[in-house]
Amino acid sequence: MSPRPWSSQGWSHPLLHPWSLGLLGILIVFGLWTALASLGVVDRLFLPGPAAVWAAGQEELAQGQLVADLVASVRRVFAGFALSALVAIPLGIAMGANANISRLLEPLLALLRYMPAPAFIPLLIIYFGVDELPKVLLIFIGTLFFNTLMIMDAVKFVPHELLETALTLGGRRRDLLTRVIAPYIMPQVLDAFRVNMAAAWNLVIVAELVAAEDGLGKRISLAQRFLRTDQIFLGLIVIGLIGLAIDLAFRLLMRRRCAWAQ
């Protein structure tokens, strides 16, 4: 119902369309980068131009390196995040629906949440070596508490009228979860996942910088060793683009599945 800024009044000139403005912001930075690099103000070693980064991309693409790294990183993020969601959904719902479970676990989770996940890396390496498992677990640890607490909050704020209406319409307790709570919290859960996915991307790169065979973070770390700033730039841009793509995918999913909450 709420009028969207781009629906009618918000913009009159096509250049004022939010998307064109967003694109403009990106283009300005891109332009500055190109100008700085081509003017030679900064040493090329420190600031490779767009052309050099593009070439590095072509090279890594031809070698198959880029795709392999991308797949490795994405796989870790998705495995870790899926595991986190799998635990966070039932745990968050249980905490949101039951005051005693919430009292038991909320202080603990609030404490754990403030322990920076990267600080767990040394322990994870001692316990599980440098294979896939510690990286997946790092993402799991780094997103579990946020996911759980955000889902808990969503459940706590389900209006009691909606629950009680279901009971007076002949619903049983177990109907409440599937017919009322689940659909009500869906948009907030998707939004929590979208936000926390960004943390998962941070963590996978950190894990790969520390110890990995492949992945986008590993490539950046290797590039540092050979002063290949063009490859570092490439890695950063690719990571940013994937993050953006995931963010947009969540938004699209939300628009499709939870149009009522827009």
In whole angstroms, how close is the CB of 178 to another protein at the nearest point? 11
Among 168, 225, 226, 256, binds another protein (CB under 8 A): 168
User: Does the protein bind another protein through residue 253 (CB under 8 A)?
Assistant: no
Candidates 59, 132, 153, 175; binder of another protein (CB under 8 A) is: 175
The one segment of 102-110, 125-133, 166-174, 218-226 that binds another protein by CB under 8 A? 166-174
Q: Which of 161, 225, 226, 256 binds another protein (CB under 8 A)?
A: 161
Q: Which of 207, 190, 205 is nearest to 246 (CA)?
A: 190
Q: Is 164 in the site for another protein (CB under 8 A)?
A: yes
Interface residue with another protein among 180, 223, 232, 254 (CB under 8 A) is 180
Closest CB to another protein among residues 62, 259? 259
- Does residue number 178 form part of the binding site for another protein (CB under 8 A)? no
The binding track of 107-146 with respect to another protein, each residue x by CB under 8 A or -, is ----------------------------------------
Give 148 or 188: the residue with its C-beta nearer to another protein. 188
Residues making contact with another protein (CB under 8 A): 1, 159, 161-162, 164-172, 175, 179-180, 183-184, 186, 258-261
